[in-house]
Chains A and B, each alone.
Chain A
Amino acid sequence: MSNLLKDFNQGIIKENPVLRLMIGLCPTLAVSNNAINALGMSVAVAFVLICSNLVVAMIRKITPDEVRIPIFIIVISTFVTISDYIMHAYYPDLYAALGVFVPLIVVNCIILGRAEAFAYRNPVMSSVMDGVGMSLGFALALVSIGVIREILGAGSVFGFQLYNSAVAATIMILPPGAFITIGILMAGLNKLENKVL
């Protein structure tokens, strides 16, 4: 049980995919311009990551080594397409905001990375816990960045206006704001690690 807890814990801070492993940065930069987009993206990635970790761990015994990567891709793209259809059908506003980044979850390195590095070598329960932990870590990073950028760049948080957007620093919701925020968060986490972790 303690092992499962460790698999779960690992991804949240210690091996946070975005801020520690630095993978999956492309969607992180692109859709973290406000908190709602960040949350929507996190949910979609969590769904795909947990399902693909589960399936990859289930089929790892019958997967031949030579074709494991194409098989992972098939599994991942199937779940991505499912989440794409479901979001398009039931959450059209979110779908419109995330746009091309939903299908692009296929090439999110976190998902293939976890399939290859973890789910392919570990039993089903551990892999699911790893997926949940990594998803939470991704969500934590993405939503933090989204909240910071939205507050500084648009004067609102989750669409709720805090102050007049005319005095907000627009650069924060433009691409440079993403780099600035990620850099500062990474630095902060590194500092924290030297002290407490």
Chain B
Amino acid sequence: MGKIIRLGTILMVFCVVSAAGLAYVYMFTQPQIEANAKLAYEKSVKEVLPKEGKAVAVSPRGYSSTINLLVGIDAQGKVIGIKVLDQKETPGLGASIVKPDFLKQFIGKSARDPIEVKNDVDAITGATISSRAVCKGVREALEKK
């Protein structure tokens, strides 16, 4: 019995020291982490919205991840900017949806356009599902707006 208490106490001391150390590191890294997240979001909004309009965030389901998209739409209801905030699609294939060559196809589209792969959007070779997901996201953003 005495042994259990002794071992337990030693473990507890280690945990307390560890927790105190972590609390200290958390205290000075947390403000920076929050500032980063805010900065990154503001920067993305600026990128997709060079002029007046509205930025809409959508999260269509891709091939192997949820794709977080930010779509900038102007007052006339046209897409003026689009950016992939976060995705974990297949590297080398689906992950190519972040490339400007693919994304620029969506600029100028509005709710009247079909925005469909094989129709008015060229899919990325080997990444039809990821490409379709982006199309779906853009359509959703235009509807939401």
Q: Which A residues are within 8 Å of any B CB, using their own CB?
A: 33, 62-64, 66-67, 70-71, 74-75, 77-78, 81-82, 85-86, 88-90, 92, 96, 99, 153-154, 168, 170, 173-174
A71 vs chain B, min Cβ distance (A): 5
Chain B interface residue count, CB cutoff 8 Å, equals 24
Q: Can you list, as one digit per residue, whether each of B9-27 has a CB less than 8 Å from chain A (1) or not (0)?
A: 0110011001001100110
Interface of A is mostly: helix
Q: Can you list, as one digit per residue, whether each of B22-36 has a CB less than 8 Å from chain A (1) or not (0)?
A: 100110011011001
Given the known A-B contacts A64-B7, A74-B14, A92-B40, are A86 and B92 also in contact in the complex, defined by CB atoms under 8 Å?
A: no
A118 to B36, CA, bound (A): 39
Given the known A-B contacts A78-B22, A82-B21, are A170 and B33 also in contact in the complex, defined by CB atoms under 8 Å?
A: no
Cross-chain contact A85 with B26 (CB below 8 angstroms) = yes
Q: Which B residues are within 8 Å of any A CB, using their own CB?
A: 6-7, 10-11, 14-15, 18, 21-22, 25-26, 29-30, 32-33, 36, 40, 86, 88, 90-93, 126
A177 to B124, CA, bound (A): 22
- List the A side residues contacting B88 at CB < 8 Å: 99
A92 to B37, CA, bound (A): 9
Highest count of chain B CB atoms <10 Å: which of A71, A99, A168: A71
- List the A side residues contacting B93 at CB < 8 Å: 170
B91 vs chain A, min Cβ distance (A): 5
- List the A side residues contacting B10 at CB < 8 Å: 62-64, 67, 71
- List the A side residues contacting B91 at CB < 8 Å: 33, 173-174
